[in-house]
């Protein structure tokens, strides 16, 4: 917990910490006890979210591995840019990428993705939706 706090304290660009009392946040999270790594990771994610900065995120080791796979090109999607409608929480297509399977299938901007492999997407985080859509390059999964 403290290691993540220190990394942010040393490297965060906004010296006001987005007008948060960063020292108090540190004490709040250090005073807790954590019974598992999963619980600690959840608390770290919560702590980082207090900054209110959409560009600052915490990835647990599994999420980080998935991100690296995505970046390295080991996995591929269908070619969609997705967003979550702030009012309805619906998973919405921002745009299909030209030449991709989504584009060829006729998916359009503002289309709503209601299910992925039989699972409803209402309220689903974009990251979770992307994980469900991704598959090995060249497969139908």
Q: Domain residue spans in the chain? A: 2-58, 76-136
Average pLDDT over residues 11-36: 92
Beta strands of the chain (E only): which ranges?
Answer: 75-76, 80-84, 91-96, 112-113, 115-116, 119-120, 135-136
pLDDT of 136 = 62
Quote the CA–CA distance of 101 and 79 in Å, as a whole number.
6
CATH number of 2-58: 3.30.750.44
Domains 2-58 and 76-136 share a fold: no
Q: How far is CA 80 from CA 92, 97, 130, 133, 136, in A?
A: 10, 6, 9, 10, 16
Tens digit of each residue's pLDDT (9 = 90 or more) over 46-81: 999 999 888 888 988 888 877 666 555 444 578 888
Question: What is the percent of the chain where pLDDT is above 70?
Answer: 88
Work out the angle at residue 131's Cα, subtended by the Cα atoms of residues 82 and 98, and round it to the nearest 5 degrees: 40
At the topology level, CATH places domain 76-136 in Pdz3 Domain (2.30.42)
């Amino acid at each position: 917990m403290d290691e993540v706090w220190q990394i942010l304290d040393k490297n965060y660009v906004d010296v006001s910490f987005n007008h948060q009392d960063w020292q108090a946040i540190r004490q709040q999270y250090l005073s807790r006890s954590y019974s598992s790594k999963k619980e600690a990771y959840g608390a770290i994610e919560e702590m980082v979210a207090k900054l209110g900065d959409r560009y600052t995120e915490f990835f647990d080791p599994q999420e980080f591995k998935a991100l690296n796979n995505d970046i390295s090109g080991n996995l591929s999607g269908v070619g969609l840019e997705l967003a979550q409608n702030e009012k309805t929480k619906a998973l919405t297509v921002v745009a299909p990428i030209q030449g991709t399977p989504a584009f060829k299938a006729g998916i359009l901007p503002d289309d709503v993705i209601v299910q992925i492999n039989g699972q409803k997407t209402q309220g689903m985080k974009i990251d979770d939706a992307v994980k469900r859509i991704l598959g090995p390059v060249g497969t139908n999964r």
